[in-house]
Copies of this chain bind each other. A is one copy, B any other.
């Protein structure tokens, strides 16, 4: 199995699929090709939240603002999974998550991918990452160390992406928007546990009910809930939280768990 994720939109992923299927007989599964464009941090969030649900596979992930520069191309083995990606931090959060979810210590090994003279300087998805992912799929993740175009490197030498952790100051949680999903749900970095036992909270300047799920408020109304990623989300029932709350990726979110605006 080989999964594909990118910010390529369409039809560039098709060229990657052709390259892969010309070299190995894989079941291809699209993760997404509309990952947040040119935004490795937000894209890394989505990889971390989707790839671990899959059975062992080679996972090709390309969000690559540095394509054609001297940033490295890497492949990381985690147990029976392999992540193939540019060395811009995209792979590190999902690697950590896969390690954390493993019942025992998985083999983790990082490799640099070297493909001489790729056909283009602007489409390494097709010319570097797809051929490398196909080679890994064909050889098997267990045998990555034997593949000629891979050279062992230290995982610690690879660029990392850390998601910010919220700060707490005088009872107010200062968080940040990690991503906005396709529904407009605003996913913050504030752990869902913060809402335990809370009925109302103040987001920036607005008082908002804390509910179990979208339908806990009327259609079109704002709500706070613990989303499927385990974080506090600022949502609207059957509407767009990003618009109603005026929040976008990277914006700061002040969350006060007392229930009256006066507490600010």
Interface residues of A (CB under 8 A from B): 1, 3, 5, 8-12, 14-15, 17-19, 21-22, 28-35, 37-38, 46, 49-55, 65-69, 119-123, 126-127, 181-183, 212-215, 219, 225-228, 233, 237-238
Total copies of this chain within the assembly:
3
Q: Could you say which residues of chain B place their CB within 8 Å of the CB of A237? A: 65
Whether A8 pairs with B182 at a CB distance below 8 angstroms is yes
| Residue in B32, B120, B127 whose CB lies within 8 Å of A227 | B120
Given contacts A68-B214, A214-B65, contact A29 B21 (CB under 8 A): yes
CA distance A228 to B126 in the complex (A): 9
CA distance A248 to B55 in the complex (A): 42
CA distance A215 to B121 in the complex (A): 10
Nearest B-chain residue to A238, judged by Cβ: B38
| Residue in B38, B53, B119, B233 whose CB lies within 8 Å of A15 | B53
Q: Could you say which residues of chain B place their CB within 8 Å of the CB of A67? A: 213-215
Q: Could you say which residues of chain B place their CB within 8 Å of the CB of A18? A: 50-55
Whether B55 pairs with A32 at a CB distance below 8 angstroms is no
Whether A227 pairs with B122 at a CB distance below 8 angstroms is yes
Whether B122 pairs with A225 at a CB distance below 8 angstroms is yes
Closest 7 CB pairs of A and B: A68-B213, A18-B53, A9-B182, A123-B228, A11-B32, A120-B228, A18-B54
Given contacts A121-B213, A238-B38, contact A30 B53 (CB under 8 A): no
CA distance A172 to B3 in the complex (A): 46
CA distance A181 to B12 in the complex (A): 9
Whether A14 pairs with B30 at a CB distance below 8 angstroms is yes
| Residue in B10, B126, B181, B233 whose CB lies within 8 Å of A182 | B10
Chain B's nearest CB lies how many Å from the CB of A176? Answer: 20
Question: A11-B35, A12-B181, A122-B228 provided; 14 other pairs, C-beta below 8 A?
Answer: A9-B183, A14-B50, A15-B50, A15-B53, A17-B53, A17-B54, A18-B51, A18-B52, A18-B55, A22-B53, A65-B238, A69-B215, A121-B226, A123-B228
Q: Could you say which residues of chain B place their CB within 8 Å of the CB of A21? A: 1, 29, 54-55
Whether A32 pairs with B53 at a CB distance below 8 angstroms is no
Q: Could you say which residues of chain B place their CB within 8 Å of the CB of A119? A: 228
Q: Could you say which residues of chain B place their CB within 8 Å of the CB of A14? A: 3, 5, 29-32, 50, 53
